[in-house]
Amino acid sequence: MDLNDLERRMKGAVSVLKSEFAGLRTGRASISLLEPLTVDVYGASMPINQVATISVPEARMLSVQVWDRSNVQAVDRAIRESRLGLNPIVEGELLRIPIPELNAERRQELVKVAHKYAEQAKIAVRHVRRDGLDSLKKEEKEGGLGEDESHGIADRIQALTDANVSEIDDMLSQKEAEITQV
């Protein structure tokens, strides 16, 4: 029974949640807002940071400097179709993206999305727990572990699960406060 592997897999679910939360808009410009986007260029789908430089020149403005002029339209299209509610202004090879003010309705939508992301992360952590407990039962049936030892490991797996779910809840409450802050 490898508890380190279970912990690594649970931490993986938490880190995915961190990256998803980074993409949720809070009314402030952030490079992480565009990082998950992919652009269809050169016959392939590439991350936006491999075809352009993203910067934050002002608190409510993103700037995307496209390296190859022929990719400007593809980058513009990827940003517009991303469901982020952003409308780039094309100036040659530079795209300026104003970050609109969030209204109360949009804030509530973002809170719901944050809850959905957090629930998916909790489900992933619980799946890792289930896999660990299943392999533990299998090992116990095969005679590799005693009943007392098995219960001790099961308790450690549950403690690991509880710690990760608690971390997810903390992250969610922080993100929710960040989104609802006017």
Average pLDDT value for the chain:
88
pLDDT tens for 138-181 read 988 888 788 888 899 999 999 999 999 999 999 999 999 888 87
Whether residue 110 has pLDDT greater than 90: no
pLDDT tens for 61-74 read 899 999 999 999 99
Q: What is the residue-wise DSSP string for 159-172?
A: HHHHHHHHHHHHHH
**174: three-class secondary structure by DSSP:** helix
pLDDT of 25 reads 67
**CA 81 to CA 103: how far, in whole Å?**
21
Helices (H), the chain: 3-22, 72-80, 104-141, 147-180
Name the β-bridge partners of 38.
47
Q: Average pLDDT, stretch 91-112?
A: 85
**CA 99 to CA 84: how far, in whole Å?**
10
Whether residue 83 has pLDDT greater than 80: no
For the chain, which domains are there? 3-21+103-180 (1.10.132.20), 28-98 (3.30.1360.40)
pLDDT of 84 reads 74
- Torsion over CA of 67, 101, 57 and 181, rounded to 10 degrees? -120
**CA 179 to CA 85: how far, in whole Å?**
16
Q: Which helix (H) or strand (E) segment is 66 a member of?
A: strand 61-66
Whether residue 109 has pLDDT greater than 90: no
Is 64 exposed, middle or buried (CB count within 10 Å of its CB: 0-12, 13-18, 19+)?
Answer: buried
pLDDT of 27 reads 66
Whether residue 182 has pLDDT greater than 70: no
pLDDT tens for 26-75 read 667 778 778 878 899 988 999 998 999 999 998 888 999 999 999 999 99
